[in-house]
């Protein structure tokens, strides 16, 4: 059996460095590793609408932003199928059947959905579509027979839910679907990059993101305003690196060669951390270093993005072609599912013959 990737993002805003270290960068590496037979990267507009029903324009506007971020990071339509979720209607049909295999109480236990409900003040009135999006996400994954889902840690409950649905489907209707594995980022700092304010998560609504499309100035301004150790008031004071966003970002982005280039007094991040912990190293110096590192990483992405944006119709054509390919694959899987569930009445010659026979004998 082939190795197949499916993953995606909600188009509710431009992508930020949290997306980049948490999944985008890895996707590009996986794409280029040659280890995968098929790769599907989905812009999850239908999922974005589950909590933006009254703001479809936001979703509509951001599809192209996300597509540009994808292409700028190195996702290559020659190697990966880039597509839009709503353009593959088979996913809705699958979701409808999967709903029969999941209980309300199981959905209520999903920790990611729980915290999202809190964040959106949905407690009193949760849209049903939002509540059930983990089921639709199972359709996204299984429609492509994905074996591997590279995502951030917050998506683990969705993959778990998908595996349960696959298990249930296969045991009720016979071996049809593939149980996917989650693929988490390998660097721990990348699991959940905090916002520049030190809050647990980088999120557009908190206004604490560094975007892939930010200008050089915007990036610098954001880094210089970043939260650090609140008890590190004077340069001489010993500082704390654990939980300090500036150091978490360095964990995620910097490599030894950055020290050679920008801070030759230190060999590596361990030495820099030791100095900070001991005292005598100022925040501004560390932030300047982080700025150099991040600028190096983001500059080529920003420049490619600007180049690609010169031909927007071509980007829509890439998504259209990808959506067509994605639909072909999903239609194949859906047909197999319906066969397994025996709801393929018109191609089931045996059923038709059997019913004909039953009614013939009844009439005798
Ligand atoms: N829930 C994901 C997010 O918020 C987006 C998504 C939708 C997804 N369907 C998916 C991710 C299937 C991986 C697999 O980022």
Q: Spell out a b/e string for 52-68, using b for 16 or more CB atoms within 10 Å of the CB, else e.
A: beeeeeebeebbbbbbb
Q: CB count, 10 Å around CB of 279?
A: 13
Tokens of 202: 């980088």
135 lines ligand 1 (CB under 6 A): no
Helices (H), the chain: 17-19, 25-33, 45-49, 56-73, 90-98, 104-108, 111-119, 128-131, 133-142, 156-173, 216-224, 245-253, 256-262, 269-278, 283-308, 312-341, 349-363
CA neighbor of 145 nearest in space, from 161, 162, 160, 164: 162
Ligand 1: centre distance to CA 113 (Å): 12
333 lines ligand 1 (CB under 6 A): no
Residue among 4, 5, 7 whose CB has most ligand 1 atoms within 8 A, to mutate: 7
Q: Is the model's pLDDT at 363 over the cut of 90?
A: no
149 lines ligand 1 (CB under 6 A): yes
Q: What is the pLDDT of residues 229-266, one digit of tens each?
A: 999 989 999 999 999 999 999 999 999 999 999 999 99
Q: Is the model's pLDDT at 4 over the cut of 80?
A: yes
Q: Is the model's pLDDT at 334 over the cut of 80?
A: yes
Ligand 1: centre distance to CA 262 (Å): 37
Residue 182, H or E segment: strand 181-183
Atom 3 (ligand 1) nearest CA: 9
8 lines ligand 1 (CB under 6 A): yes
Q: Residue 26 — φ and ψ, nearest 5°?
A: -65, -40
Q: Is the separation of the CB atoms in 226 and 179 below 8 Å?
A: no
Task: Give the pLDDT of residue 200.
Answer: 73
Residue among 4, 10, 26, 45 whose CB has most ligand 1 atoms within 8 A, to mutate: 10
How far apart are the C-alpha atoms of 60 and 108, rounded to whole Å? 29
148 lines ligand 1 (CB under 6 A): no
The residue ranges of every structural domain in the chain are 4-191+312-352, 204-309
pLDDT band with cut points at 50, 70 and 90 for residue 311? very high
16 pairs with which residues across the strands? Answer: 211
pTM, to two decimals = 0.93
pLDDT band with cut points at 50, 70 and 90 for residue 1? low
Task: Give the pLDDT of residue 173.
Answer: 98
Domain 204-309 has CATH 1.10.240.10: yes
Signed CA dihedral, 84, 86, 89, 91: sign only: positive
Q: Spell out a b/e string for 85-96, using b for 16 or more CB atoms within 10 Å of the CB, else e.
A: bbbbebbebbbe
Q: CB count, 10 Å around CB of 132?
A: 19
184 lines ligand 1 (CB under 6 A): no
More confident residue, 347 or 186: 347
Ligand 1: centre distance to CA 170 (Å): 23
Q: Which atom of ligand 1 is nearest to the CA of 152?
A: 15
Task: Give the pLDDT of residue 351.
Answer: 96
Q: What is the pLDDT of residues 58-85, one digit of tens each?
A: 999 999 999 999 999 999 999 999 999 9
Ligand 1: centre distance to CA 22 (Å): 13
Q: What is the pLDDT of residues 167-224, one digit of tens each?
A: 999 999 999 999 999 998 887 767 678 999 988 778 777 889 999 999 999 999 999 9
Mean pLDDT to the nearest integer, 129-141: 97
Ligand 1: centre distance to CA 7 (Å): 6
Ligand 1: centre distance to CA 137 (Å): 6
* ∠ Cα 341 343 344 (to 5°): 115
Q: What is the pLDDT of residues 92-133, one digit of tens each?
A: 999 999 999 999 999 999 999 998 888 888 878 899 999 999
What distance, in Å, lies between the first and last C-alpha atoms of the chain? 51
Q: CATH number of the domain at 4-191+312-352, please? A: 3.40.50.620
Q: What is the pLDDT of residues 262-304, one digit of tens each?
A: 999 999 999 999 999 999 999 999 999 999 999 999 999 999 9
């Amino acid at each position: 059996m082939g190795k197949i990737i499916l993953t995606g993002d909600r188009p509710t805003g431009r992508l930020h460095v949290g997306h980049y270290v948490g999944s985008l960068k890895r996707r590009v590496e996986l794409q280029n590793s040659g280890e995968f037979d098929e790769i599907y990267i989905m812009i999850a507009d239908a999922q974005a609408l589950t909590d933006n029903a009254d703001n479809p324009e936001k979703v509509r506007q951001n599809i192209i932003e996300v597509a540009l971020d994808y292409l700028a990071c190195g996702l290559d339509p020659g190697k990966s199928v880039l597509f839009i979720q709503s353009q593959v209607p088979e996913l809705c049909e699958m979701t409808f059947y999967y709903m029969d295999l999941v209980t309300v109480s199981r959905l209520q236990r999903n920790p990611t959905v729980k915290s999202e409900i809190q964040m959106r003040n949905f407690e009193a009135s949760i849209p049903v579509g939002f509540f059930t999006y983990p089921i639709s996400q199972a359709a996204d994954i299984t429609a492509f027979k994905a074996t591997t889902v590279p995502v951030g840690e917050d998506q683990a409950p969705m993959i778990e839910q998908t595996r349960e649905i696959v298990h249930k489907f296969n045991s009720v209707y016979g071996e049809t679907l593939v149980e996917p594995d989650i693929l988490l980022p390998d660097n721990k700092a990348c699991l959940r990059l905090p916002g520049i304010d030190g809050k647990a998560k980088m999120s557009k609504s908190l206004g604490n993101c560094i975007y892939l499309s930010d200008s050089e100035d915007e990036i610098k301004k954001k880094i210089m305003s970043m939260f650090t150790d609140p008890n590190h008031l004077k340069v001489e004071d010993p500082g704390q690196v654990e939980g300090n966003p500036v150091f978490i970002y360095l964990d995620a982005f910097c490599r030894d060669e950055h020290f050679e280039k920008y801070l030759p007094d230190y060999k590596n991040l361990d030495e820099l951390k030791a100095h900070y912990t001991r005292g005598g190293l100022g925040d501004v110096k560390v932030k300047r270093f982080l700025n150099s590192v991040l600028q190096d990483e983001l500059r080529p992405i920003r420049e490619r993005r600007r180049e690609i944006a010169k031909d927007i119709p071509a980007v829509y054509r890439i998504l259209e072609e990808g959506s067509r390919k994605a639909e072909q694959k999903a239609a194949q899987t859906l047909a197999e599912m319906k066969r397994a569930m025996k709801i393929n009445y018109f191609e089931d010659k045996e059923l038709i013959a059997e019913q004909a026979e039953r009614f013939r004998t009844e009439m005798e």
